[in-house]
Structure 1
Amino acid sequence: MCRWLAYTGNPIQLEAVLFRADHSLIDQSLHSRMGHTTTNGDGFGVGWYGHPTDIPFRYRCIQPAWSDRNLREAARAIKAPLFVAHIRAATDTPAQETNCHPFRYGRWLFMHNGLIRHYPSVRRDLMLAIDPDLFPSIEGSTDSEVMFFLALTFGLEIAPVLALERMAGMIEETARRRGVEHPLNMTVCATDGEQIVAARYSSESQSRSLFHSTSIRHLRELYPEDPRMKAVGDDAYLVLSEPLVDLQGAWEEIPERTAVVTRGPNIEQFSFNPALP
């Protein structure tokens, strides 16, 4: 499928997690340890905020992430307090720039790993459920972008977790009417520059992998000489498909049917329960 990560904390170079980590996102694009596919080479994208209230910047490309020299230059140049990155392994839709994550609407960015099963058979019904005022902003053909715009339709900008639950509930109900068993598998991330909202859910309770970082203060006590712990700040936080480094105590797996919301130093976990809007 895909791999993704989201970071918030002190401003750091994107290069730190995209390239320099032991099991960086670029390494995962070639050698994923926990993904459904080992290689994720159908495009990539990064999104970052200069300020939480700004419209976020994006860089997306259909080349494999490991072979894009411009990405390496950009990752060295860009320093941001909140950013996201995604490497894609396509399922039912083509490799094209408009199908690369993250997707953007206003201040919001969205990424997804997983799939809507038998998506072509339910695509029309799902797209008709999107708010007509939002519909002109859809650019690509992926199930992931439809998920994003369904979440926006159901109130992502007001109540993010509830909107994601409604999005999941709508997809499951629509697909099951078409006879699709276990229609949804997802780890998703949405951010508006001030908060990161992530959810892990699948209809069959076998979701793709998802982890988040533990306390940076605790890690500094465990690894006082590790330079990677010094730059990010006490409140740094990562949520990601696979751990970047093999440090004992650095990562916790996010449980099935769970949503995580982080805003500054505050991190909350919620039970994730799809419901029809």
Structure 2
Amino acid sequence: MCRWLVYSGSPIRPEELLYKVDHSLIDQSMHAKLGATTLNGDGFGMGWYDGPRPPGLFRGIGPAWGDRNLRELSEHLETGLFFAHIRASTGTAVQETNCHPFRYRTWLWMHNGEIHDFHRIKRELALAIEPELFPHLEGSTDSELMFYLALSYGLRDDPPVAVARMVGHVERVAAEHGIANPVQMTVATSNGEHVWIFRYSSQRESRSLFYSRRIEALRELYPDNANFRRLSEQTRIIVSEPLGDLPGAWREVPESTYGLVEPGRDFLREFHPDPV
């Protein structure tokens, strides 16, 4: 499986979360505590927004902990919204086109989990992708295919509905092939203005996902922490597992839940697949 994070808020350099905090994402690439695997060394990626244009994207196939270009970029780039992902392959090839996040125009998508027995239903699932979207599918992962299925089901118009339809479709096709509990996922996706997150598994035993408490609450808990003083009240961080060990700083996203983060508000709601 994989580890990932989303940052939305005051512009920062990604190195602050990738390298400089306790149990940073780079540390998790070597010493994950809550993942299915301790080591996540099958590639990495970072996507970031810097205005209304499509997001930037940097991906590599080596372990994140040893990539000098990732360190260099994260030290000099400044952004208020970025995705970062470290990969542990569930069977597909270690290649750049299989590294997250995935990008389509202004959209980013990343995933932790799998479609169980993906190889048995891959062709049928791929045939449900809209013809105009199919040429943009570059890799061989279930994660990217889920992205293009969600786009086909209306991700650009209504992400919760589109992802519910995507999951429902996967579960229906899997059931037709005798595959039980096919979906395991935590997902983040964004159009540069809003961030949606999803935590769901067919077995109701999803991989871990956490979000940071409101900054004002963290300031009250930790008045001497300089990092909390300089961030805006709109700042949010969503992670596969907590960065550091600050008691009270992180809350778990409930099972079968989706959430929205956007300027001025954020919320969590129940998530249920739609068997289209």
TM-score, length basis structure 1: 0.98
- Indicate if the aligned counterparts of 1:12 and 1:231 stay in contact, CA closer than 8 A: no
- Indicate if the aligned counterparts of 1:42 and 1:64 stay in contact, CA closer than 8 A: yes
Shift of 1:249: 1.4
- Indicate if the aligned counterparts of 1:198 and 1:259 stay in contact, CA closer than 8 A: yes
Residue 148 of structure 1 corresponds to which residue in structure 2?
147
What do the CA deviations read for 1:189-238 (whole angstroms, capped 9, x no partner)?
10011011000000001100000011100111111111221232111001
What do the CA deviations read for 1:48-99 (whole angstroms, capped 9, x no partner)?
0001x21000000001000001111110011101000000000120000000
Distance 1:235 1:146 in 2: 32
Is 1:183–2:182 an aligned residue pair? Answer: yes
Residue type at the aligned position of 1:155: G
Residue type at the aligned position of 2:269: F
Residue type at the aligned position of 2:58: Y
Residue type at the aligned position of 2:67: D
Shift of 1:174: 0.5
Q: Which runs of 5+ in 2 are unaligned?
A: none
CA RMSD, Structure 1 to Structure 2 (Å): 0.7
Counterparts of 1:13-92 in structure 2, within 5 Å, are 13-51=13-51, 53-92=52-91
Distance 1:115 1:135 in 2: 20
Distance 1:249 1:158 in 2: 35
Distance 2:202 2:36 in 1: 16
Residue type at the aligned position of 1:8: S
Distance 2:91 2:149 in 1: 19
Q: Which runs of 5+ in 1 are unaligned?
A: none
Distance 1:161 1:275 in 2: 10
Residue type at the aligned position of 2:7: Y
Residue type at the aligned position of 1:76: E
Is 1:137–2:101 an aligned residue pair? Answer: no
Distance 1:114 1:207 in 2: 8
Runs of 4+ in 1 over 2 A off after TM superposition: none
What do the CA deviations read for 1:7-39 (whole angstroms, capped 9, x no partner)?
100000000000001010000000000000000
What do the CA deviations read for 1:160-199 (whole angstroms, capped 9, x no partner)?
0111111100000011111101100000010011011000
Residue type at the aligned position of 2:18: L
- Indicate if the aligned counterparts of 1:25 and 1:244 stay in contact, CA closer than 8 A: yes
Residue type at the aligned position of 1:9: G
How many residues of Structure 1 are paired with residues of Structure 2 in the alignment?
Answer: 276
Residue type at the aligned position of 1:56: P
Q: Alignment partner of 2:157: what SS?
A: coil
Q: Alignment partner of 1:41: what SS?
A: coil
Distance 1:33 1:60 in 2: 24
Q: Alignment partner of 1:238: what SS?
A: strand
Counterparts of 1:1-277 in structure 2, within 5 Å, are 1-51=1-51, 53-277=52-276
Distance 2:99 2:231 in 1: 28
Q: Alignment partner of 2:17: what SS?
A: helix
Residue type at the aligned position of 1:84: F
Distance 2:240 2:15 in 1: 18
Shift of 1:276: 2.3
Distance 2:229 2:41 in 1: 32
Q: Percent identity?
A: 50
Higher deviation after alignment, 245-254 or 110-119: 245-254
Shift of 1:265: 2.9
Residue type at the aligned position of 1:10: S
Distance 1:228 1:43 in 2: 29
Distance 1:77 1:93 in 2: 32
Q: Alignment partner of 2:274: what SS?
A: coil
Q: Alignment partner of 1:20: what SS?
A: coil
